[in-house]
Structure 1
Amino acid sequence: MVNFGEKRHHFSSQITFRSRPIFNLHQYNKSSGNIRTDLPTLVLQCSLFARQEAWRKSPVNQPSELIYLDEFYKFETRSFEVKICPSQYRSHDVFFSVLKEHLTNWGDYYEVSDDYVIKRIILYIDKIIEYVSKRGGNTNCEYLEIFLDIALKLEYVLDGRMREIPWRLNGGMVPATKTSIMELPERMEIDDDQCLKETECVICLEQLVPKKEGGKIICMPCSHMFHGDCIITWLDTSHYCPICRYDLPTCN
Structure 2
Amino acid sequence: MSDWNLSDPEQRHQAAADYVLGLLSGADLTRFEALLSISHEAQRDVQQWREHLNILNDELKPQTPPSSVWKNIARATKPESLWSSLRFWQGTGVGVAAALVVSLSLWLSPASQELDERDIDYVYVIQGSGSQPEWIVNASLNQNKVFVETVQPDVLPNGQVCELWLMVKGQEPVSLGILPKSGINEVVIDPQWRNALQNSPLVITLEKPEGAPNGYQMGPVLARGQWTPVNKSI
TM-score interval for Structure 1 and Structure 2 normalised by the shorter chain: under 0.3
TM-score, with length taken from structure 2: 0.26
Higher RCO structure, 1 or 2 (CA under 8 Å, sep 6+): 1
Report which of the two has the higher share of strand. 1
> Could you say which structure has the higher helix fraction?
2
Normalising by structure 1, we get a TM-score of 0.24
